Structure 1
């Protein structure tokens, strides 16, 4: 078991330069051939944000849980990391299949294929976060002194997404229906994660259950860091639970990946 983890770490570290090149290529290729090109990385989220803002802020008159910021600012700070999470969850499952043409022609360590999809989504997320901070300042507001904690929450999201990607990409090769199932679960996660609506008005026992969602820890962390000035210890129990879940998924993912990787080329 530990040997499998060591191999995955070693492959990704030794191929780190190739990993970044592949991630950049994947990000650029998503909108290649379009008129606006790279701008679609901002236009797509902007259009979705407008729809959610219109539905929840105008239609349902949802307000942020605390004063000081309008709902649109509160929503943007939570929905941008969700776009990163949902993109990685959606693309990493099929990452090995999507890269099958290259894998059949070139000897590439298989473990870096799902990881480069997560890294590609992270690079796009970094650009998007610059826009978020710009929107906050242009709206006449400031970010808290704990803004640097967003890098920690980026690390959290990257860690759990890499763990998931290693597991999901291997399972999808063996069981194609897994990605279809996960697409439905991802849509459910959007609504049980505090992305566009406030959970504080729910019963305490239901809030406790929803907080077990590891992505809730990340979304709340972004808002705590940029808007509310809360330190990392504010949700320390939730943080411990998050890292336990992440490590367990990573161990499972590494072992599933190593167990079936010899069959990948034949199956794809």
Structure 2
């Protein structure tokens, strides 16, 4: 528990530095691009187009709605948060290994690189979420009061991904194959998460797998904020308890691994 609190304290104490470095890295990322920050809209839009053609016009055929929601809107509300989640996992898991030169020279903890990477992706997430919020408001899919629950989704995403990244940021340096393992796990979870398919239409096995998939919990809560009008949050108390128990377990394991190897990572590089 002390290690978890120590990592949380590191993020809070260096919050201003995290914000400044995240902004600097974002500016540097698009410094030589003509379209600049517009890529944060274009890239997810292209992915939505591809999946809509394949799954919306191709596999689904004439069926255009999912749970009484137009398939395109349903797809957008799944793709946007998934791109943020998957890119955050990849970015945060490789954040320390990508800055090993600084790790040996800096006077601040390496763990803040994880949060810096998360904040980098947050800028794109805000843009895509704003687009979906406008669509949801115009289409009256959800109650505007439900939009505030996206803050909960963001916090839950950070907690879960931080737990995964604390584990993987050390393992990808110690065991190089872990990068490939991580990529394949993310690819598998993409198809096990209700992004372009509905939980209500899935068979019992897929529904069971989804109930054990923390990313399905995040995606569905994001949807409930903008395109479902049943409630501001998805799931019952069992779903919430399961998600946070798993998340806290990952954070605990990750903090143990991080502190065990944080002073010896340079030896593995």
Calculate the TM-score normalised by the size of structure 2. 0.92
Look up the match of 2:19.
20
Q: Bigger CA drift: 31-40 or 227-236?
A: 227-236
Q: How does 1:203-222 map to 2 (within 5 A)?
A: 203-222=203-222
Q: Distance in 2 between matches of 1:259 and 1:77?
A: 39
Deviations 1:52-89 (A, max 9, x none): 1111111112544321x311111111110001001011
Look up the match of 2:263.
262
Structure 1, gaps ≥5 residues long: none
Look up the match of 1:100.
100
Q: How does 1:119-138 map to 2 (within 5 A)?
A: 119-137=119-137
Q: Distance in 1 between matches of 2:85 and 2:93?
A: 13
Does the aligned pair in 2 maintain the 1:65–1:200 contact within 8 Å? no
Q: Distance in 2 between matches of 1:264 and 1:3?
A: 21
Does the aligned pair in 2 maintain the 1:31–1:37 contact within 8 Å? yes
Q: How does 1:1-268 map to 2 (within 5 A)?
A: 2-61=1-60, 63-67=64-68, 69-137=69-137, 140-144=139-143, 145-229=145-229, 230-232=231-233, 234-268=235-269
Deviations 1:97-121 (A, max 9, x none): 1112322332221111122212221
Q: Distance in 2 between matches of 1:77 and 1:201?
A: 17
Q: Distance in 2 between matches of 1:152 and 1:209?
A: 23
Q: 1:233 to 1:75 in 2, by over 3 A?
A: closer
Q: Distance in 2 between matches of 1:77 and 1:212?
A: 20
SS of match in other structure, 1:219 = helix
Q: Distance in 2 between matches of 1:56 and 1:191?
A: 12
Q: RMSD of the alignment, in Å? A: 1.8
Does the aligned pair in 2 maintain the 1:11–1:109 contact within 8 Å? yes
SS of match in other structure, 2:16 = helix
Q: Distance in 1 between matches of 2:248 and 2:262?
A: 21
Structure 2, gaps ≥5 residues long: none
Does the aligned pair in 2 maintain the 1:136–1:142 contact within 8 Å? yes
Does the aligned pair in 2 maintain the 1:79–1:195 contact within 8 Å? yes
